[in-house]
Structure formats: structure tokens, C-alpha cells
Chains A and B, each alone.
Chain A
Amino acid sequence: MLRVCLKGANAAARQCLCGKVAAHPLQHCRRYTSAGDSGVSAGKIVAASLLTVGGGLGGTILYANWDPKFRSNVEKTVPYSDQVFGMTIGPPPPPPVIPIPKKPAKVEPLQISSVSEATKESKQPKKEKKAKEAAAPEKPPAVEEAAAPSPPPPPPPQTIEEASAEAAHILSAIGEVPSVPAPGTSDQTPAEAAPPAAPPAEAAAGECHECAHHEPALKERPAEEVTALLAAKDKAEQDTLASLSSTLDETLGSSANVTMAAIGAQEAALSAIAVHTQKLKEAMDAEGAPDKKSAQWRALEEALDQRSRSVDEAGAALLRAKDELEKLKAVINAAKDSKIDAARPQVLAAEENLHNMIVDLDKVVGKVQAAQSEAKIVSQYSELVNEAKEQFQKELDSITPEIKASWKGLGKLSTDDLNSLIAHAHRRIDQLNRELAEQRVREQIHIETALEQQKLEHQKALEQAVVTALEHNREEMRLEQQKKVEEVREVMEAEMRTQLRRQAAAHTDHLRDVLKVQEQELRSEADETLKNKMQEQETHYRRMTQEQLDAFTLDMNAAYARLKGMEESIDSHVIAEEEARKAHQLWLSVEALNYTLRTAGADAPTEPLESAAAAVRESCSDNEFAQALASALPAESLKRGVYSEASLRARFSDVRHLARRVALIDETRNSLYQYFLSYLQAVLLMEPQQVAPPASLNADDLDTFKLLSYACYSMERGDLELAAKLLNQLRGEPRRVAQDWLNEARLTLETRQAVSLLSAYANAVGLGTTQAP
């Protein structure tokens, strides 16, 4: 470098002296050459001067290449030199970039603040939520209160409705009475017409009671039900009536037929008996020819057969008729039991028919019996006659045994026989006369007895007839009575209906009045009840609201207290977080400061720590300790930055080298010769590069070279402080040489110390503000 310097200096000297100097050697050279020496010397001189100039130029260019300042100087002073330089060594280097102090990471503190702001913002929604929750409980109580008054109003109107419904039912039920026939039987009094009206009313009332809690629209239904029921009843009645009438007609028809048949049979029997009797009589009385007699007897037998047959038939028919009549009676009784009013005329008619049939049947039976008795008499008579005849015949036979019983042999009889016969006949006539006289005598008695018997029988028959007639009469009377009763009943019913109508009207009016009164009463009662209930409800409601208010107040107080507590805790949290944030910020700024310490280049200092220190100061504005520390940073480091240890170490070698070379120089001996000597010493003196420094220095150790070795050792071990301390012991020129380095080292050490303190402090604070989970 020195040689280059030499050359450069040479060239610079030459250039500085410009044309004045440059010209001279040439002039001299020219003069020398023009003075007249040989061309060799001139050539030599020219060559030498050319060489010199070329060397000068080359030297200048080289030096300009190496030293941009020199280059700029030359460019300024010598015109067109910049072009020459541009052609030979390229464009001038760009001016060194002055590092602009950058803004340190202020973004990081901002981030922290935004986080805190976010936490602040999160506080508000919680507050809002609390307000909403407080508002929500207010709503359900209001809803409940609205629901509470609604149940009480419905019950009171219902009672009124019930009463009115009842009254309406009763009215409607009674109003329907005229249209509904009183379903009573024949023997019931009109008084029972009311009870039947009452049961429907009661039923209706019962139904009203049942349907009271239904809506008013259902009021019409019970009346309709009643009509429906009545209609159903009517229909049922009609059905039964129809069935009854049909059965009645049937049985009537059948019984009529059978009775007719029976009567016919009886008539036939009667006629047969009459015929038979007639024939018998004829057979008895008639003294016709024997063949006629036999024919008569035959006819008689036939008639007898006929008679018996017809009598049997009549008997059977009579039985059948009696059965049928019994049936009819049963049916009529059933119809009577069914108690249907409309059937009564039919029933009556049926009864009449029955009665008639019975009467006819009895008549016919009586006729037949009379005929039969007459026939009996006639048959008895015929039997007697036959007996007499047989007796006479026997006698005749006994008297005249020879005469065989044959009236035909009468002409052949002898006089004895005839005399005996006449004597027998006389005797017989006497006997018969006597018998006749006896008979006459007895006749009276017999007649009397017979009469008596007859009378008795007659009496009996009369009685029987009377009884039957009485029965028939009674029956007729009964029927008539029933008819009359029916008529009367109808009339009475009609009258009853009118009366009932009147009564119904009166009842309606009365009911109306009563209902009005009742309504009034009930209304007043209901009003009172309502009032009471309302009052009750009011008090209850008031109590409930009060309770709710109290509960609510309690809740609110509790909530408020909790809110307060929460707020306080949040505040304390916020404070703690603020502290933490500050600590964090401090720590971050200290970290930034630390980082800036590391931004030192190889030979360049770090960035000025101004901004980082400012950030640190900002972040610990309320902390005196940190403020003090932050302000303790040396100004130079703030403005210019500090060097890194590596650069210092690198520099140290230079310092050491230089310090060795000027080791002998101090204030007293500082001539150039000394410089040369010290340089020689440095060259010749060999000392170990690194020697471990002792724990304490003594006077021997204050030798430059030793100190330098110690310092080198410490530097290599990274102990800048010790090295600085050691170098501080240098004296004289080495000290001056090392001064700058020492200053830098001191700066660095100071800064580092301050920064490490700050960092430790920030860590401590950060740890302190860390909240235990």
C-alpha cells in the first residue's frame, strides 16, 4: 500500500503541479536534447520522460482506481480526465449509500394495542348481553300476569250462562208441550200431564246442566233432542200401533173366520139335530107301512149319524173358535197394555167384535143345547115308547107265546088266543087305566116335580142366561163405558190441552217474571261474586307483582353486584392485561433493541439505536427504572449505532498491529526516528499471540506487548470487557491508537450492558405480570 501510495503520491504530485511541473521535465528534456547531445541521450531522455509520464499516468489511473476521492479530485481539476478514467477503469463507483435511519418495528407495539382494544370492545357486548338478560326476565312475568287475569273472567259469565240456559231450556221444553201428546194411559189423571212435562224439562235441565259448560251455540240442542225423542217416541208408537193393528186385524179376521165357521158348524149341528128329532118324531108317531118304517128308521139312523157328526164338528169348531177368541182376547189385552191411545178405538172395535162373536157363539151354542135337550126328550120319549112297546110285546108274547111276534100274523089267531088276547088286552087296559089313573095322580106330582125341576132347570138356565146376558150386558156396558170414557177422555184431553196451554202461557209469563227476578238476583250475585273474585285476584295480583318485583329487585341487585364484581374483575384483568401488555411491549421493544444490536454489519456499525431506544422509552413511560436505563444508553450508540463484537475483534487485530508498531512512541519520544525504532522493535520482538491475563495486574504487566497479548487472549475468548480494560492500561501512542477502538468497545459494552439490564428487567416484569392459571 505504501508503494502504491508512493507511486500515487508521485503521480499526484506530478498532476497537482499540472502543466507547470509537467512541462518542465519535458522542456528540460527538450532543452537537454536541443542543447545538442547525441540522439542517444535525446532518445534516452525522451524514453525516460515518456516512461516517467506513462508511469505517472498509469500511477494516477491506478491510484484513482483505488481511491475514489483522488479520482474525483482529479476529475474536478483536470478536464476530460473523467472521460479518460471512464474509458480505462470504468464508471465511477456509486457514492456510498448512507444508511437512512429506518423506523424500527413500531408495528409490534401497535399490534399489542389492537389486542387490548379488542379486549375492550369485548367488554361491551357482555354488558349488552347483561342488559338483554335483564330485559328477558321482565317479559315472562308480564306474560304470566296477562294469563292470570284471563281465567277468572270466564267462570262468572258461565254461571249466568248456565242459568239462562236452564231457563231457556225449560221455556223451550214447556213451549213444546202442546205439540207433544201426553204419553199417559187411560187411568192416569190430568195431573200427571205436568209430570211428563216436568221430566222432559228435567231431562232438558239435566241436559242443560251437562251442557252448561259448552258454548252458548249448543243451547238449541236439548229442545231439538226433546222433539227428536218425542218424534222417536211417536214413531215407535206408530210402529207399535201399526203392528198392533195389524195383529189385531189378523186375529180379528182369523177369529171371525173361525167363529163364523163355528157358528156355521153349530147351525149345521142345530139343523142336524132338528132334522134328527123331526125324523125321530116322525118315526115314533107315524104308523106307516113297514117298509117306510124301515126306511124311516134308516133315515133316522142316518140323521143320527149326521147329527153326531155335526155335533162333533160343531164341538171342534167351537173349541177352535174359543181358542181363537182367547187369542184375540190376549192380543186385545196386549194392545190395552201397550197403552197407546190411538189404538184404543181399534181396541174397542176389536173388543166389540169379540164380544159379538162370543155372544153369537153362545147363542148358537145355546140353541144347539136347546135342540139337544129337546132331542133328548124326544129320544127319551122314543125310548119309553119303545120300552112300552117291548113290554107290551113281551106281555103279549108271554100270554100268547105261540103267536110269534109279528103283527102280520094277527089274522091267523084262534078265539082263545083272541080271547086271551082280548082278556090280556082288557087286563092290560085295566092295568093301563089304573096306571093311567095312577099316572094321572102322579102326573100332577110328576108334573109338579117336573115343573119344579123344569123351574129349577129353567132357573138354572135362566140364571145361566141371565149370567151370560149379564156378562154380555156387562161387556157391552163396559165397552160402551170405554167408548164413552174414550170420548170423554178426548174431550177432556182437548180441554186439558187448552187448559195446559193456558197454564203454559201463564207459566211462561210467570217464568218470565221469575226469570227476570232470578236474573236480577243472579246477576247481582254474580256481580258480587265477580267483584269479590276480582278483588281477590287484584290483591293476589298485587301480591304476586310485589313478590315478583321484590324477587326481581333482589335478582337485579344480585345481578348488579355480580356485574360490579365482574366489572371490577374485568377492570383488574384489564389492568393486569395492560400491565402485561406494557411488559410485553417493553419486552418487545427491548427485543427490538437487542435485535438492532445484532444488525451490525461486518465493518459497519449497527443501525442507530435511537428509534429502538425511543420505542423502549415509550413502552416504559411510567417506569422510572426502565426510563433511567433507556436514557442510560450512550448518545453515540443512539445516533450512530454500535459495532458488533465481531467487528471489534476484527478491528482489534489492526489495532494490535498498529499498537505494536508504535509501542515506543509516547509524548516524550515521538520523532520519526522513534517511529522507525518502534517499527523495528515491533518487527523484531516476538511475543506469544495470546497470553492468559492474570487475575491481577502488576507493574510488569503494563507492557504494551503483554497487554496486547492479554487483550488478544480475552478478545479471542469473547471477553470484550476485559480486553477493553486491558487496553485501557496502554500508555502513549498505542493508547491513542487504541483510543477509538476503546471508545467503540466502551460504547458497545455500555450499550450492551444497558440493553441486557433492560432485557432482564423486561423479562422480570413480564414474569411478574404473568397470571397464574
Chain B
Amino acid sequence: VMASGVTVDASLKDDFNAIKLGHKYAYMVFKIEGESQIKTERVAENSTYEEFIGTLPPNECRYVVYDYKYTLDDGAKREKLLFIHWAPDSARIRDKMLYASSKDAIKKELKGVVEIQANDMSEVDEAAIKEKVKASG
């Protein structure tokens, strides 16, 4: 696919494994630095989903991996890793283009995630997320 050429910081893969295999973090946020490299911006060890979405920058794009825990109707507990491509409508067009064209680079490093494209708060609303996660099987 047409890509920006932006690369992924080497340590990002380790960070991803820490959340995927080690369940060390509730979520991690990635940012493109200097229009050239995707790096881990911040992590949170404990957080509710509500708390997390409150921390999303309103006018800037980001990528997020969130360890989402949920319960099925029958009471069974499940856990899925979400990959959120956060591109708010109010972000600068340059930012939107950069993150959209670099998404493939980071996605390649993240195995077994459910992808969410979100341009506003309603698209990261927990009800919407839960639907998507359940649908992904």
C-alpha cells in the first residue's frame, strides 16, 4: 500500500509484547516524532476505559494499543487488544495524512489486534467498541 516511509522505533515491539504477552499495561499511546518515527509516548499500568478516552488529545492524531477486558452476556470474561487509529476531525490535515499513511508501518508490528478507526469521541465510545470487539469473534 502507499506508505509515508515513516518507520517504527525498535523498542516499540518490546513495549507491544509487554502489553500483549505480559499484560503489564492497560494501554500505551504512540506518537509520530519529527514526522519520521513512531515512538511510545506514554503508558498506563492501570486505567478504566472511561479514564483512558479522557486522555486522548482533542486536536492531534495518535495510535493506541488498549488491553480491553469485557464480559459476555453469559458472564464469560474476555480480553482483546484494541489498536486505535485516533484522527480527530479537528486535527490538522497534515497530521491526518501523516498518521493515515503511516498506519501500515505500525500495524505490521502489532499482531492479533482489533482495529478501530476513530475521528471523534462517539467512535471510541465504549458501547461502539464493545460491538466491534464482539463482532470480531
Please say whether chains A and B are actual partners in one complex.
no
A contacts, CB < 8 Å to B: none
B contacts, CB < 8 Å to A: none
